[in-house]
Amino acid sequence: MTSPPKITDSHCHLDFPEFSGELTDIVARARAAGVHRMVTICTRLANESLVRGIAEAHEGIYYAAGIHPMRAAEDPPVTVDDLLALSRHPKFVGIGETGLDYHYTAESAALQQASLRVHVAAARETGLPLIVHARAADEDMARILTEEFRAGAFSCVMHCFSSGAGLARAALDLGFYLSMSGIAAFPKSQDLRDIFAAAPLDRILLETDAPYLAPPPHRGRRNEPAYTAHTARVGAELFGLSYEEFAAATEVNFDRLFTRAARSE
C-alpha cells in the first residue's frame, strides 16, 4: 500500500488533558495519516517540563513555549532570558505562542502587548520563529509586528490564521507565514479561504491547534494531529494543486521557517 504524502502539524497541544492516556495512539494515527512531524506548543511556562518531555519521548515531535495572551494577566511575566534559556534545548523550535486576544481578554491588552514584545525580542535574538495568536486585535497586531520588525528582523507564523485580509497583508508584507487550520475547512469560512488563496503558496503552513477546531468530517469533536490531512486537502483545492503537490510545498515552507526542526531530520 502506498504511504500518504508527508505533512507536518505545525501547531498542536499534546499536553492538554483531552489527550491524557492516549498519546501513543494519537501519534500512531498521525503517522498513518502522513503527519510525520508535530510541534506541540506550551502555553504556560509552568507546564514547560511536561511539553518538553513529550517532545523528548517521540521522534518527529518538537516543541515551543511562551505565554499565551489569554494568560498574560494570570501567569508571571516572562523575560527574554527565560525564553533564551528554554531555547537551548535541541527540540525547542519556536517562541510562543504569544500574541493578542481581545475577544476574551481585552481588559489585559496592555499586558498582552508587553508580553508580545518580550517574545519578539527573544525570537529576534535566537533566530527561532515567533508563533503568534491573534484574535479581535488586527490593528494593534499589525502595528506592533510592523514596529518590531522595523526595529530588527525576525521570522514569524500567524498561527491558526482567521483574521482579516488587512492583517494577512501586513504579515505577508513582512515576510511572515500564515498557518491554515481546520477553520479554513468550515463551510462558512469562504472569506478566510479567499485570503489563503490570495497568499503566496510559499508562505502557507498547516496545523490543527488540536484538541480544538477539528475540520469536517470531525467538526464538533476532539481534534488531533491526524486531521491535518483534511485541512491539507482543502488547501490543495484552493491552490489548484494535487494533494501531493500541496503537501510537498508546505513541507518546504515548514523547513524554511522551522530551521532547527529541519536540521534535526
Residue 134 maps to a domain: yes
Q: For the segment 97-153, what is each residue's pLDDT rounded down to a tens digit? A: 999 999 999 999 999 999 999 999 999 999 999 999 999 999 999 999 999 999 999
State yes or no: pLDDT of 157 exceeds 90. yes
pLDDT at 1: 64
Residue 51 maps to a domain: yes
List helix spans (H) across the chain.
23-32, 48-57, 80-86, 102-105, 109-126, 138-151, 165-173, 190-198, 228-238, 243-257, 259-264
Residue 2 maps to a domain: no
| Cα dist from 90 to 58, 67, 69, 86, 154, whole Å | 13, 20, 25, 10, 20
Residue 1 maps to a domain: no
State yes or no: pLDDT of 176 exceeds 80. yes
Residue 181 maps to a domain: yes
Q: Residue 150 is part of a domain; what is its CATH number?
A: 3.20.20.140
Q: For the segment 15-68, what is each residue's pLDDT rounded down to a tens digit? A: 999 999 999 999 999 999 999 999 999 999 999 999 999 999 999 999 999 999
Residue 48 maps to a domain: yes
* Number of domains, the chain: 1
DSSP letter at 182 equals G
Q: For the segment 84-94, what is each residue's pLDDT rounded down to a tens digit? A: 999 999 999 99
* Element (DSSP H or E) covering residue 85: helix 80-86
Q: Residue 81's domain spans which residues?
A: 7-264
pTM over 0.75: yes
Q: Averaged over 199-217, what is the pLDDT?
A: 97
Residue 145 maps to a domain: yes
